[in-house]
Structure 1
C-alpha cells in the first residue's frame, strides 16, 4: 500500500509539471507496477487492494453527495431528469446499436449498452474537483445526470443479471429491481425529511468524533446498499446528500477532503492493476470506434442539456468532456460477462475502452475551450462558450 501511494505520487508530481491531470497517471502507475506488465511487480494480485479501492470509490461519491444540495434537486429536478434521460437514451442506445453492429450477440450487445452508456462517477467527481468547477453553472446538470445514471445503473444491473445467468424469470428480475428502487426511495426520503434529526445525531465539536461518525455512516450504508442490489457508491452518495444539509456539513467537507484524495488515488491505482496491455492490440479498432461513438453521443447530449438550461458553447464542451469517462461500472459488467461465459473478446475490449477514455476524458475536460470553438456559437463575438445564466 505504501508503494502504491508513492508510485502514484511520483508519477502525478512529474505529470503536474507538464500540465497532465492526475487520474490517468494514477492508472498508469497501477498498470506499470501490476502483474500484467514486465518489470517490478508491486502488487501481484489486484484483489489485495480491493477493499481500499472500494473505500476510495465510496469516499469520492460521498464527497459528491456533500456538494449536491437537495435544493438543487427540488428546484431543478425536472430539468435534471430530462437531461439525464436524453444522455442515457443517446449513449445506451448508441452502445446497444454498436454491440449489434459488431455481431457479438444479444447478451454481448446488452453488456456493451451499459458499458458505453454510463459515465464513471469517480472520474467525473475527480475531474470536477481537480479543475475547480464545482461552482460552475453547468456542474449542477452534470451532477444531475450522474444521479439519473446511478439510479438507472441499479435497475439495469438487476434486469441484466437474469439475462446473463440464463434465467428466464421475469418475476425475479422485477423483484430485484423493485428492491433496489425501494431502498433508493427510502434513502431519498431520509435525505428529504430527516436532515434535522441527522444534524442532532452527528453534531459534535470534536473533529475526531465527527470523522469517525460520518465515515462509519457512509461505509455502513454503502455496505447495506449492496445487499439491496444498489451500488455501494450510490449509498455513499445518498449519505453525503443527507449530511451535506446538516449544520456540520461544511466541516465534514473539509475533514473528508484528504481522505477522499488519498483513497481515491488507491482506487485509480487498483483500476490500473486490472489492465493487461497485452490484450489490447486484438481489439484496438473496435475500441477506437467505440470511443468515437461515445464522443459523438456526448456532444449531442451536451447540446441537448445546454438547450434545456440555456448554456453557451463552453458549457456544452465542459458537459460533453467531463461525462466522457467510463470506469467502475464498465469493469463490473466485464466481470459479469466473463462469469457468464460471453464472447472472450469482451473483457479486453472493455479494458481498452475504459483505459482510453480514462486517459482522454480528463485531458479533454482540462482543454474544453478548444472543442468549444467548433460548437454552434463558439466563434461568435465575445468570450467563447460562456454559460448563459439560467432563467428563473
Structure 2
C-alpha cells in the first residue's frame, strides 16, 4: 500500500488512470522484479487477487439493477453483441496464427473483446462528452459487454474444469449449469434477497447491513465456485440483487471504500504476478493484438451505427470510445484462465501490458474523437431514434 500510494500520486499527477499506478506498484514489489521483491508468495498474491475480484465485481453489480438491464436500447444490444463476438473471433484467429495455444487464444480473445467500463467513463467525463448521445450508446454497449464477458468466462472455466471435452453433451451440461445458476439467482433471489437487505437497512445499523451484503457476496461467490464457475459470476449477481433493494444507495456508499481497497489489492497482485522478464518475448504479439482489437471494434461499431441511421459524428465517437481501452475485466478474465490452469504464464503479463498501453493512449484517442464534427443528424434520423427509444 505504501508503494501503491506513491505510484498513485505519480499517475494522478500525470493524469493517467489509477490502474496503471497499481500495476506498476505490483511490478515493483513482486517476486519477478529484483532488487525489491517485497512480496515473495504467489499463493498470498492469488488470495488477495481473488478477494479483490469478488469485491470489485460485487460493487460493479450494484450499478446494474434488473430494470436498468432491461432499459438498454435495442441498438446498443445488437451493436455490442456484434462487436464483442466479431472481435473475439478475429482476435482468436490472429492469436492462433501468432502461435498461441487454443486456450491462450480463447482467453486472450475474450479479454481483448471487452472495453474497460471504469476507464472509459472516467475519460468521457474528463473530456466533457458524458452527456453526448455517443456516450449514451457507449454506456449501453458497455453494460452488454460486461454481462457477455462474465457469462462467457463462467462457461469457459466450467468447460476447462470439466476436462475440455468438446462433446455436445458436455457443452450442454456446462451451459445448463451456468444458465441455471444465473437464471435461478436472478429470478428467485430477486424475490427474497432485497427484502432481507431492506430489513437490515431499516435497523439503521450500518455494521449489520454491511455484513449482510458481504455475506451475500461471498456466499454466492462460494456457491458459484462450488459449481465449477468463476467467483466473478456469484459476486456480480450478488451486486445485482442488492441493486434491487431500496437500500441499494446506502449499500453502495458503505461498500465503495472496501471496493477501492480490494480493487487496489487485485491490480497490485496482478502486477506482482507478472513476470516482466517475459515482456520482450511477446511485446510484438501484444501490439498486433491491440491493433487487431481496436480495428475490429471500431469498424464494426461505426459500420453498424452508420447503417442504423446515426450521423457520422456519433458513429465515429462511439466507435473510438468503445475501442480505446482495456482494463479491469480483461485482467479478471486473464486471472480466471490462470486459476483453472488453462493459460500459459505469458498471457497474464501480456494482458497487463495491454491494459497499461490502452489506458495510456485511450484518453488521447477519445479526445481526438471529441473534436470530430463530420455531420449533424437530420430530422429524419432524430425522429427515427426517438421512436426507437420509446420502443426500447
Per the TM alignment, residue 357 of structure 1 is displaced from its structure 2 partner at its CA by: 1.6
Cα distance in 1, alignment partners of residues 189 and 124 from structure 2: 26
Per the TM alignment, residue 160 of structure 1 is displaced from its structure 2 partner at its CA by: 4.3
Report the count of equivalent residues. Answer: 369
Match of 1:127 among 104, 115, 119: 119
Match of 2:355 among 352, 355, 358: 358
Question: Highest relative contact order (Cα 8 Å, sep 6+), 1 or 2?
Answer: 2
Match of 2:177 among 162, 179, 203: 179
Q: Which residue of 2 aligns with 1:328?
A: 332
Cα distance in 1, alignment partners of residues 227 and 164 from structure 2: 21
Cα distance in 2, alignment partners of residues 215 and 309 from structure 1: 45
Q: Which residue of 1 aligns with 2:29?
A: 33
Point out the more displaced range, 274-283 or 77-86. Answer: 77-86
User: Unaligned stretches of 5+ in structure 1?
Assistant: none
Cα distance in 2, alignment partners of residues 132 and 76 from structure 1: 19
For residues 82-97 of structure 1, the aligned pairs below 5 Å read 82-97=78-93
Q: Which residue of 1 aligns with 2:97?
A: 101
Cα distance in 2, alignment partners of residues 120 and 168 from structure 1: 23
Q: TM-score, normalised by structure 1?
A: 0.82
Per the TM alignment, residue 190 of structure 1 is displaced from its structure 2 partner at its CA by: 3.2
Deviations 1:170-190 (A, max 9, x none): 534432332122111111213
Q: Which residue of 2 aligns with 1:318?
A: 321
Give the SS at the match of 1:99. helix
Q: Which residue of 2 aligns with 1:115?
A: 108
Give the SS at the match of 1:39. coil
Per the TM alignment, residue 254 of structure 1 is displaced from its structure 2 partner at its CA by: 0.8
Deviations 1:100-153 (A, max 9, x none): 32245xxx13431331223598x8354256557588523232022110221122
Question: Contact (CA 8 Å) 1:142, 1:323: kept in 2 or not?
Answer: no
Q: Which residue of 1 aligns with 2:252?
A: 253
Cα gap change, 1:129 to 1:88, in 2 (>3 Å): closer
Cα gap change, 1:158 to 1:268, in 2 (>3 Å): same
Give the SS at the match of 1:140. helix
Deviations 1:219-245 (A, max 9, x none): 111111111233212211111111112
Deviations 1:289-341 (A, max 9, x none): 112112212213442675569544333322222457731212332465xx56x
Per the TM alignment, residue 366 of structure 1 is displaced from its structure 2 partner at its CA by: 3.0
Cα distance in 2, alignment partners of residues 96 and 305 from structure 1: 22
Cα distance in 1, alignment partners of residues 31 and 109 from structure 2: 27
Q: Which residue of 2 aligns with 1:303?
A: 302
Question: Contact (CA 8 Å) 2:84, 2:113: kept in 1 or not?
Answer: no
Cα distance in 2, alignment partners of residues 223 and 57 from structure 1: 13
Cα distance in 2, alignment partners of residues 295 and 319 from structure 1: 9
Cα distance in 1, alignment partners of residues 3 and 364 from structure 2: 26
Deviations 1:32-81 (A, max 9, x none): 11111111111001321322322221111111111113222223375554
Question: Contact (CA 8 Å) 2:123, 2:366: kept in 1 or not?
Answer: no
Cα gap change, 1:132 to 1:260, in 2 (>3 Å): farther
Cα distance in 2, alignment partners of residues 222 and 304 from structure 1: 39
Give the SS at the match of 2:320. helix
Cα gap change, 1:75 to 1:168, in 2 (>3 Å): closer
Point out the more displaced range, 80-89 or 288-297. Answer: 80-89
Cα distance in 2, alignment partners of residues 324 and 269 from structure 1: 13
Cα gap change, 1:115 to 1:78, in 2 (>3 Å): same
Cα distance in 2, alignment partners of residues 88 and 380 from structure 1: 26
Give the SS at the match of 2:71. helix
Point out the more displaced range, 129-138 or 7-16. Answer: 129-138
Match of 1:380 among 369, 374, 383: 374
Give the SS at the match of 1:215. helix
For residues 123-202 of structure 1, the aligned pairs below 5 Å read 124-127=116-119, 130-131=122-123, 137=136, 138-161=138-161, 165=163, 167=165, 170-190=168-188, 192-194=190-192, 197-202=195-200
Deviations 1:5-53 (A, max 9, x none): 1111111112211212110110011111111111111100132132232
Question: Contact (CA 8 Å) 1:87, 1:298: kept in 2 or not?
Answer: yes
